[in-house]
Each structure stands twice: as C-alpha cells, then as structure tokens.
Amino acid sequence: MLKRLRRRSKTTRSTHSEASTTPFPEPVMATAQSTNIADTEYARQRREVYALLKDLKELGAQSNIRIPRIAVIGAQSTGKSSLVEAVTGINVPRDSGTCTRCPMECTISTAAPDWQCQISLQYDPDGQTRREPFSGVLNSKAEVEIWVRRAQTALLSPHVPRDSFKTKTYQELKELTASDPQMLKFARDVVVVDINDPQGTDLSFIDLPGLVQNMDDEVINLVKDLVERYIADDSTIILITVPANDDMENQQAARLAREADPDGERTIAVVTKPDSLTDGEIGAQERWLNILQGRVPDHELRLGYYIVRLANDTERRSGITRQDLDRRADELFSTTLPWNQMLNSGRLGLRNFINDISKLLMGIIEDAIPRLREEAEARLAQINHDIAGLPEKLTADPTTEVFSRMSKFCTAMQDDVYGRSEDKEFVHESQAVYKDFKIAIYKTLPDFRPFIDHAKHQKPTDPPSQSDQMDQDTHDIVVDFENGPFDLEYVRWVIKECTGWQLPPHIPYEAKERLIGLSVDKWPAPAAACYERIRVLSREYIDSNVRDHFGQFKPLESYIGKLIRDEHQAHHKKVSEAVRDVVEREKLPYITQNLHYLHSARESWLQHYRSAYGISVTTYDSYGRLRCAYEDELTVMADVRAYVQVAYKRIIDNIPMTIQRDLNQVFVDDLLKRLISKLDLESADASDRLKKLLEENPVIANRRVQLATDQRRLEDIVTKLSNFVV
C-alpha cells in the first residue's frame, strides 16, 4: 500500500517549484469524448472494486483479512458528522445525547438504479466478525437517521433485546438514553450503513466516535483506544477532520495519526469550517497556507489536505441542496484568504474531496488484490479444515448408526480400562490414586521408638534389611506417621493394661491386638476415599466418551448417556460393599499365611529395636542370661510392626484389585450386550424412536451451515480476486 501511496504522491504534487513542493494534484485536461469513455470504463472498474470490497466485509472477513479502509477521526465539534452527511447524503444523529457513540461504517454504491439504504449491526460475539440486518430496505433518506439512532442505541444496550429498538420513536430513544444507567457510554460494535445511490460516488469509510476530553478517564481512554485500534493497521487510510479556527498543534486526532503513521504516508487531513477564519486573522491565514502548501515539515502529509465548506445548522435545518451548498463554497473559496490562493490546487470543495478519496481507496484496493487473495485463500483453507473436523453427517439407517456408535463407545471404554488405548491416561490416573492410597495406609503403620522417653530421641531409621521388603515408593518418602510415636514406657503400659491373672513373664496377646488395631482400624477411611476417587475418575471417562461418540446428536447423547450412567451406578453399591469387605477382613482375628515374610520382618525389627535401645543398659537374669530390661516391650514392638507390615502389603494390593475388577472391568465387560437389551430393538416403534434420537446437535448443525455458507462465499471471493483485472 505504501508503494502505491508514494507513487501517487509523486504524480499528484504541484510543479510550482522544488522549494515549495505541495501535495496538491495538477488538473488533468481531456476532450469531452475521451472523458466520457474514460469515465464509463472507470465507473465500471470502480463499481467492481467496491462490490468486491462489500463482499469481503459482508463475509466478516475484516477479522481475518486486512481489508483497506478509510477511518474518519477527529474531536467532537470538528465538523466530522457534517462531513459524513455531506459525503453520504443522509442525516446522522448529531445532538449531544446521541452523537457518534459507536463506529459507523458507510458504504456508497452506484450500481443500483434507485436510491436505497439498509442498516445492519456488526459485532464480534465469538472472535469472528458477524453482520445481521437491522432495518429493512429504506427507500427514503428521511428514514435513515431514526434507524441509525435505533441501531446505535441497540448496540449501546446489550442487556436489552435488539429487536425491541426497531419500533422506538425519537423521543423514546432520547428518554432511554437519558434514563438507562446500564447503557454504555460508547461501544466497539459497528452500525453498518449500506447506501445505493446512482447519483453518488462509490466509496467506503468508517466514522469513529469523536475524541473527547471533558468526560471520565475511563470514557476518554475507551474512545482513544478504539481510534488507535482502527488506525494501527497499515492498510487503513487515516482521515482527520480539523477546524480552520483551531491550530493543528491542538488536534489530538493529528497526534494519534502521527503516532500510527510517523511519516504521514497514509494520512489525509480535511480542513472544515473555512468560513470561521475572519479577514483580520492574518497570522492564522498564513499558518494554514504554509501548512497546505507543504512548507511546515511537522505537518506534511503525503496525501495532502482538502478544504471543504459544510452545511451549518441553519442551512441543514432549511434543507439546503447540494448544488446550493457547492455554490456557496465556491463563492467562499474564490473571495476569501487564504483559500483563494489555491483555486487551481484541486483540493477545494466536496466534489474534489469525494472524487479523489474514492479514487485513492480504489487504487489501494487494486494494489492489495494479491494480498487479499492470499489471505482469503488462507481463511478458506482454515474453513475447509474446520469442516473436515466436524462430525460426519448421518448416512446409515438409525439402528445401524446407533449400534455402531455404542459399539465404538464400549470398545473405547474397554481400551481405557484395560490399558489398550494409545494414551494410557486412565491407567496412569488410576495408578496415581492407588499410590496415594498406599501412602495413606503406610502413614498408619505404628511409629515405635525403642527408648524409655521418645522425646529425647529422634525417630530411628528403618532396619537396612527392610529396604528390600518395603515398597520403594513409600520407603523413600518422608512420612509423618499417624500412629505414634510409641516409646517403651507406652508399650509397657499397654501390656500392663491387658494383663489379667497371667503369671509373669507372660505377654498377653490382647496387647498386640490393641496395638495392631491402632493401625488397621484407620484403614476404612483411605480405602473409601480411594474407591470414591476411582469412581469419579471412571465417571469422567464415561462422560468424555459419551460426548465423543454421541455428542453430535444431543437427544441420543442424553438417552444413551443415561443408560450408561445408570449401568455404572448399579455397580456402585456392590463395589462399595466389596471394598468394605476387604477392609473388614483385616480386622480381628489377625491372621496370615505369609509366615516366612512375617518371621523375617519380625527378626529384622527386633534386632533393629534392640540395637537402637542399646546393650549398655542390660542386666543379667537369675539364670545368668543376658536380658534387656525392656525385652518384652521390644518383642511386642517387633511383633506388631511385622504383622502390620504384612497386612499393609496385603491391603494395598487387594483394594486396587477389587476396585479395578469389580467397578471397572465388570462394568465394561459385555456392556454392549446390556445396552442393546435396554434399547428394545424388537419393538415396532424402535426405528422411529432411534431416528428421533439422531437429531443433530443444533450447535453443530448451525456451525455446519455457517461454515458451508462461508466456504461458498470465500470460494466466490477467491475466484473474483483471482480473475480481477483492472
């Protein structure tokens, strides 16, 4: 685009002198016949270019394709609304309560034989630009303003149904604007005004809300950010309106344009209110003349300046004709300084401005055709990809389709449960739960401290021989045990509490039972928690697979999903009871057939506890044998620790195995047969019932229709862009 602008700027500069180079174009002379032929051919090309531009915008391509456009910016009261009215030939809301409070995109086409207008709303609900018609086709210019007001108020009131604004009167809109506290001050959504005017000039631009200064900081920044967002794209021509009775240095719009376009290559300035300069303002006249003739480097614009006289309020209310307005402008320019110094510049008046700006935008669009085609092809490729990603449309008969989907669902569930699926995610998540269960059980093992007062000693390490016997996952984890610490005095107290008429040195078995129970009695809670986590995990995989295999058809997903979840729930009571049974089996009496491991663990722990206790505090008994003063207590510690260790090894396998088999495997085995039996396929109405269940998800169906529509339109646009010849 910049290449085009530079080329045009070179051919449109004045040839007065190199020292006073000006952006004003030289007039082009031609014969009447050549002008008619050229105008006809040019008009045809222009209509084709702007028709193409309209197609792209209606598609919502602006969100994916950088379409060249003109953005009109300026402060409030700089004549921006008057300029829009003059260009479009329609009236727009101008009073303080309904000034431009959201972007308004105007497109003028000369293709239709009669004047028409239609108002649409453009919004961005899901990241993709969408347009929806708001008004019907308007055949009178007098209808446009009220419809623009309605459209703008609808966009400013997202909390109110849009259709409710279509019948509101001017007074109702005004009262609503003044009284509704939820109404937005400004909105980013766009009012789209499409005009067919056979007497007009093909043109498209977007009018942005006027920059404000005397409002809340939030509002000021919102409008400023909106303007900056639009003019940042280097495909956008920035058109700023500047009143002649103010200095360029005071214009915030000019500063924003300079920030977005530092070299002034894509910025045009329109000087409004030229009649506001009086004869006595010689300094202001000279400043403007220097700026307009390119003698002020800070304000030089490659696309130059235009000066237009627009209708004032009195003329507007009187309904002044375009011819009379042009005549008064010509009189002003020909008789008033500094404008009469530029009569041959081609930059005075609306006619020159509209014709030149239309040609400029058309040329930029022509230059952008290759890029537009490339971006359109990229978006078409994405749409084709999205279409390919949609579920296939139903082609089989209902019974076959339902059976096929149920079969695939059951296979997927079996693959998850048995670890045959590619990602093994269900297995890995289950193993993580079982590991947490194992650690929870490990924490309940008794923490015996073979000292008289455990507070004076740190917890001793496990015996070296136990590193081969304990599970590595728990052995290397620092665990705060829940049972203990129990020192020798505590164990002695337990023995004493459990001793009846037995003669010493008898150790009552009840003492060991009580100490074992301190661990075993805590196992129901972690076992139940483990089961519940696996049950929830299984349900999540059921829900995920139900969505994957039946989600295309919401009725089917709901119906089959309920059958499957009911089937899963039916296992819940039986499996929870089975898990409780496994834990109950670990309670009294405490038995094991794993005697080899029990004896080995006991000997290891006994030696370990004796060593930790220390031989220096031993005494000799009456038979002359070396005896530890706490030999009974150390023995009880070793017996209890060894048995709990055996039981620990047992339960950390039995609980996961019970859950995996009784909850998961039993559920997925023969699931297809159980589901088919519940469908009652032998009934006379089976086919009709299944057909109703196969109504496609409305979201997917709508997405399919929208993508197909976009695909057809983009294919057409790509074809037009490929075949476009200027």
Choose one of 161, 196, 231: the last residue of a domain. 196
| 400 falls within a domain | no
Q: How far apart are CA 506 and CA 495, in angstroms?
A: 10
Both 595 and 529 in a single domain? yes
CATH of residue 8? 3.40.50.300
Q: What is the pLDDT of residue 62?
A: 59
HSE, side-chain direction, 13 A CA sphere, residue 194: 21
Q: What is the pLDDT of residue 587?
A: 94
DSSP per-residue codes, 274-293 = GGGS-TT-HHHHHHHHHHHT
Residue type for position 191: V
CB atoms < 10 A from the CB of 421, how many?
17
Both 81 and 98 in a single domain? no
Q: What is the pLDDT of residue 428?
A: 97
Q: Report CA Rg, the chain.
A: 43
Q: Tell me the residue range of the domain where 41 lies.
A: 1-89+211-368
| 444 falls within a domain | yes
Q: Is 643 helix (H, G, I), strand (E, B) or coil?
A: helix
Both 678 and 704 in a single domain? no
Backbone phi, psi, residue 509, to 5°? -60, -30
Q: How far apart are CA 313 and CA 300, in angstroms?
A: 32
Q: Give residues with Cβ within 8 angstroms of 582, minimum separation 6.
A: 527, 651, 654, 655, 658
Q: How far apart are CA 718 and CA 365, in angstroms?
A: 15
Q: How far apart are CA 89 and CA 34, in angstroms?
A: 29
Q: 674: burial class by Cβ within 10 Å (0-12, 13-18, 19+)?
A: middle
DSSP secondary structure letter of residue 465? G
| 173 falls within a domain | yes
Q: What is the pLDDT of residue 322?
A: 85
Q: What is the pLDDT of residue 459?
A: 64
How many structural domains is the chain composed of? 4
Q: What is the pLDDT of residue 60?
A: 61
CATH of residue 564? 1.20.120
Both 85 and 122 in a single domain? no
Do residues 88 and 72 make contact, with C-beta atoms less than 8 angstroms apart? no
Choose one of 137, 167, 196: the last residue of a domain. 196
Both 186 and 268 in a single domain? no
- Six-digit token pair at 279? 């004869």
Both 126 and 54 in a single domain? no
Do β-strands 619-620 and 483-486 pair in parallel, antiparallel, or remain unpaired?
unpaired
HSE, side-chain direction, 13 A CA sphere, residue 363: 17
| 418 falls within a domain | no
Both 445 and 302 in a single domain? no
Q: Give residues with Cβ within 8 angstroms of 258, minimum separation 6.
A: 264, 267
pTM: 0.58
| 427 falls within a domain | no
Q: What is the pLDDT of residue 92?
A: 85
Reported residue count of the chain is 726
CA angle 165, 55, 50 (to 5 degrees): 105
Do residues 103 and 118 make contact, with C-beta atoms less than 8 angstroms apart? no
Q: How far apart are CA 517 and CA 256, in angstroms?
A: 79
- Six-digit token pair at 162? 């849009």
Residue type for position 283: G
Residue 74 Ramachandran class (φ > 0 left, ψ -120 to 50 alpha, else beta): left
Q: Please choose, from the candidates 204, 227, 237, 231, the residue with its C-alpha nearest in 3D space to the C-alpha of residue 303.
A: 237
| 713 falls within a domain | yes
In sequence order, which ranges of 462-506 are alpha helices (DSSP H)? 472-475, 488-498
Do residues 608 and 462 make contact, with C-beta atoms less than 8 angstroms apart? yes
Both 681 and 702 in a single domain? no
Both 363 and 389 in a single domain? no
CA distances from 677 to 54, 663, 670 (A): 58, 21, 11
- The ranges of the chain with pLDDT < 50 are 1-38, 97-98, 467-469, 616-617, 624-626
| 412 falls within a domain | no
DSSP secondary structure letter of residue 99? S
Q: What is the pLDDT of residue 200?
A: 86
Choose one of 153, 171, 196: the last residue of a domain. 196
Q: What is the pLDDT of residues 182-209, one digit of tens each?
A: 999 888 899 999 999 988 888 889 999 9
CB atoms < 10 A from the CB of 364, how many?
22
Do residues 104 and 151 make contact, with C-beta atoms less than 8 angstroms apart? no
Q: What is the pLDDT of residue 14?
A: 36
Q: Please choose, from the candidates 363, 308, 346, the residue with its C-alpha nearest in 3D space to the C-alpha of residue 28.
A: 346
Q: Please choose, from the candidates 146, 115, 121, 116, the residue with its C-alpha nearest in 3D space to the C-alpha of residue 134.
A: 121
Exposure string for 201-222, b = 16+ CB within 10 A, e = fewer: bbbbbbbbbbbbeeeeeebeeb
Q: Please choose, from the candidates 416, 652, 421, 391, the residue with its C-alpha nearest in 3D space to the C-alpha of residue 539.
A: 416
Do residues 127 and 62 make contact, with C-beta atoms less than 8 angstroms apart? no
Q: Please choose, from the candidates 437, 435, 446, the residue with its C-alpha nearest in 3D space to the C-alpha of residue 472.
A: 435
Both 85 and 96 in a single domain? no
Both 290 and 347 in a single domain? yes
Both 84 and 102 in a single domain? no
- Six-digit token pair at 25? 């174009």
| 203 falls within a domain | no
Q: How far apart are CA 91 and CA 76, in angstroms?
A: 17
Q: Any long-range contacts for 333-336 (C-beta under 8 Å, 24+ apart)?
A: 333/274, 333/307, 333/309, 336/274, 336/275, 336/277, 336/279
